[in-house]
Amino acid sequence: MVDFTLTDEQKSLRELAHDFAEKEIRPVAWELDKDGTFPRAILDKAFEVGLMNTHVAEEYGGPGLSYLDGCIIEEELSWGCSGVQTSLGCNGLAAAPVFLGGSEEVKKEYGTSLTQDGTLASFCLTEPDAGSDVSGMRTRAVKKGDKYVLNGSKCFITNGSYADWYTVYAKTDPDAGHRGISAFLVRKDDTVIVDKKEDKMGQRASNTATITFNDTEVDAKYLLGDENKGFKLAMMTLDRTRPGVAAMATGIARAAFEFATEYSKERVQFGVPIAMHQAIQFIIADMATEIEASRLLTWQSAVLLDQGKRNTLQSSHAKRFAADTAMKVTTDAVQVFGGYGFIKEYKVEKLMRDAKIMQLYEGTAQIQRLVIARETLMPRRVEEPASV
């Protein structure tokens, strides 16, 4: 029997995350958006109460929460502000390749740094000429003795300006396309330069930067996985993080839905609240259905991971649908508000701006459709283990 009834522990987690979002994030979210301020104080508080690094296993000092647990938390925090959640959750994306491909020594070293020292980490895959086309990356890693030397730039790097270390993808065989990519764990030092902080349309509370590596030396023990197998590691990482992105999109959509629903009960036109008009009722009804569907797809993709199964198709379903839903619901919420929705004094316009990135990062909506088409036309068994 399929049952998505939450346990008492999961209900408590959801309550903790919602309470944190309501009291710590929502009161400052719109000011953070206005000024583009990095929410360091909120991250510190989230670290203290256990809402960061949730997927770090107990043996490395973390709580060892399930992927479903993580999605429950991420939806609530994104209901508060998805920009803050993007900053808060970035460690999970950066650390996933370490726990998938690192040695036991490296896992202990960097798991501990996350959970005990409160370090921040970034995931460095995208380049100016290599976004969806990962094989086009130009960052190079050349082995010299027992070290690799990295040179190149990565763009759109979340928490890039504040990270203490990075997981970096670079070409070790420049002529082999995606089969020549390797992954490395790179400490920040004087050779790692923050070139640019992006001024974004939405999620302005998250820091997004260009990072350049200039003859950056990396000990060979910080090669993650096998040499030239970094592309597979990146794809496995994204299978694990896309449910969280879908949960974030669901949280954004839910926030917009709640604002629109409440406003529709208060705004009077033609002598009655606009919620009494069928045109508005249909918009609200569609929002409600699409949010429910987004959450169920998200939870399904997370539960498969928790069961040790491959979730490539389901995570792409969830990420694609939830991201598109967030964009549609926030746009419709602005419509419900009418002209007021277009004014910054009203909060739905921020949610609409925030929603757009959900269709872009961690695989665009078009890339998700390519994955879905490939998995549908050339399916593999869902029971395959989700391991290296």
**Residue 153 DSSP SS3:** strand
CB contact at 8 A, 289 and 238: no
Terminus-to-terminus CA distance in the chain, angstroms?
30
Instruction: Give the bridge partners for 210, in sequence order.
Output: 196
Q: In 3D, which of 235, 241, 230, 237 has the Cα closest to residue 150?
A: 230
Residue of 290, 362, 375, 384 with catalytic role: 362
Q: In 3D, which of 89, 113, 118 has the Cα closest to residue 102?
A: 113
Rounded Cα–Cα distance for residues 346 and 260 (Å): 11
Burial status of residue 175 (CB atoms within 10 A of its CB: 0-12, 13-18, 19 or more)? exposed
Residue 117 per-residue DSSP state: T
In sign, the C-alpha dihedral spanning 345, 351, 354, 356 is: negative
* Cβ atoms < 10 Å from Cβ of 32: 20
Residue 227 known to be catalytic:
no
Rounded Cα–Cα distance for residues 134 and 125 (Å): 8
Amino acid at 252: I
Rounded Cα–Cα distance for residues 147 and 138 (Å): 19
CB contact at 8 A, 244 and 250: no
Residues with a known catalytic role: 362
